[in-house]
Amino acid sequence: MSCLGHAFSPSDMDARQPKATEDSSTKQGDVAVDAELAKAIMSRRFHPSAISPETWEGYIFSDVEIRIKESTDLYGAVLWPSAMVLGHFLETNQDKFNLAHKNVIELGAGTGLVTIVSSLLGAKVTSTDLPDVLGNLQYNVTCNTKGRCKYIPVVTELIWGQNVAEHFPCATHHFDYILAADVVYAHPYLNELMDTFDYLCQDGTQILWAMRFRLDPENSFVDRFQQHFHLEELYDLPSLSIKLYRAWRKDKRTKDHKEAAA
Ligand SMILES: C[S@@+](CC[C@H](N)C(=O)[O-])C[C@H]1O[C@@H](n2cnc3c(N)ncnc32)[C@H](O)[C@@H]1O
């Protein structure tokens, strides 16, 4: 059962298409749920009412105003809708996914919305991205969490597949949640991203991953991902071409695996 209250098959990667066996009332119900949820998510964004020298976009999460500064030249300098989807899910599902005092890492944090929302919800967050993105990410995270959060989020470099075990040794780093929004697209590091999920996802770790579907390689990434991880679909939002997944590893990590990785 999905968190939307209707069942999805995790293995059905084209669940956005109506199925031949579905009756029309189910289809209409799905469309209505998608429209209502997408509207609720997108309505969290607002624009500054007065012209100011600082350019920012506003978001309301956890009853506070979050101001996100974007720049224009990099993927990570723009806030993508998947981040709003994941932020919305985290805020509205605290009964099932309570982040308070949990160790959380975000991959490809970009402008930082998910990190900020998770920190406001009480998590100890490690917010990661490529070096070029960290300045703007740190700025947004600091401005929006200072004095508002129990734990100060840590912003740090994590390049997928590069020295991850060295920077995040298993012996000292165990994450309850790995968060990721829109990290799978036409970039050449999909194998490295998979390896990073695989390394960081230990016994007891849950991955919450908002996935924007654009092209075929993204579908095949999900297929490959399912070889290593159990996958549950939490949201299906065809109007945004986004699905939200929960995942956890299939196999128990062996001692050898842990030592090799550390
Ligand atoms: C489409 S953006 C999504 C940003 C943010 N999560 C959001 O939804 O607004 C993809 C993010 O992945 C990061 N990224 C891309 N390749 C990466 C790599 N090899 N290692 C680490 N981060 C990477 C980018 O810098 C960017 O922040």
Strands (E), the chain: 45-46, 57-61, 64-68, 103-107, 124-129, 154-157, 177-181, 206-212, 229-237, 242-249
Q: Please name the residue whose Cα sits nearest to atom 24 of ligand 1.
A: 76
CA of 110 to the centre of ligand 1 (A): 6
- pLDDT tens digit sequence for 169-195: 999 999 999 999 999 998 899 999 999
Residue 184 beta carbon below 6 angstroms from any ligand 1 atom? no
Answer whether residue 65 shows pLDDT above 80: yes
Probe target for ligand 1 pocket from 111, 130, 162, with the most ligand atoms within 8 Å of CB:
130
**Neighbouring residues of 150: CB distance < 8 A, sequence distance ≥ 6:** 101, 122
Number of domains in the chain: 1
Q: Position 73: which residue type?
A: D
- pLDDT tens digit sequence for 67-92: 998 876 666 678 899 999 999 999 99
Q: List Cα–Cα distances, 57 to 47, 52, 70, in angstroms.
A: 5, 12, 8
Answer whether residue 261 shows pLDDT above 90: no
**Does residue 13 sit within a domain?**
no
Domain hosting residue 127, numbered range? 24-261
Q: Please name the residue whose Cα sits nearest to atom 4 of ligand 1.
A: 110
Residue 183 beta carbon below 6 angstroms from any ligand 1 atom? yes
**Does residue 165 sit within a domain?**
yes
**pLDDT on residue 131:** 94
CATH number at residue 92: 3.40.50.150
CA of 109 to the centre of ligand 1 (A): 6
Compute CA 141 distance to the chain's CA centroid, rounded to the nearest angstrom: 16
- pLDDT tens digit sequence for 3-16: 332 322 323 333 33
**Does residue 3 sit within a domain?**
no
